[in-house]
């Protein structure tokens, strides 16, 4: 009577502790995995935001230059000034599509 009970107690105590440790380790690894995924998502979001910022900044610089050129061409070459304004409108629409 006492031997089977002792064996059951032994298996319960020494079988549950490793299982408990394994579950605890799995939980910690899962949490760590979630943190790494979150960091990766934030990093990718930051990279995309920086790229968008750079592209829009470059495009706005080009738009400003084309607007200045169109202003200077108004009297000298109205057709070219009009083309510059069309280019500005098209580039502006493309910028809006990016956002």
Half-sphere exposure of 2 (CA within 13 A, CB side): 0
Name the DSSP class of 1. -
Q: Looking only at Cα atoms, what is the longest distance across the chain?
A: 111
In sequence order, which ranges of the chain are alpha helices (DSSP H)?
2-76, 78-98
pTM recorded for the entire structure: 0.54
Distance CA 93, CA 86 (A): 11
CATH of the domain at 58: 1.20.5.1930
Reduce the DSSP state of residue 77 to 3 states and report it: coil
Q: Rounded to an integer, what distance in angstroms lies between the CA atom of residue 91 and that of residue 64? A: 11
Number of compact structural domains in the chain: 1
- pLDDT tens digits, residue range 20-78? 667 788 888 888 999 999 999 999 999 999 998 898 899 999 999 999 999 999 999 99
- State which residues form the domain around 13: 2-98
């Amino acid at each position: 009577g006492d031997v089977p009970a002792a064996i059951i107690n032994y298996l319960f105590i020494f079988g549950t502790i490793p299982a408990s440790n394994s579950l605890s380790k799995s939980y910690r690894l899962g949490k760590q995995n979630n943190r790494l995924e979150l960091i990766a998502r934030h990093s990718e979001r930051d990279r995309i935001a920086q790229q968008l910022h750079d592209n829009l900044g470059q495009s706005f610089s080009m738009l400003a230059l084309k607007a200045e050129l169109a202003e200077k061409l108004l009297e000298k070459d109205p057709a070219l000034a009009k083309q510059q304004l069309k280019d500005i409108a098209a580039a502006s629409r493309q910028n809006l599509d990016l956002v």
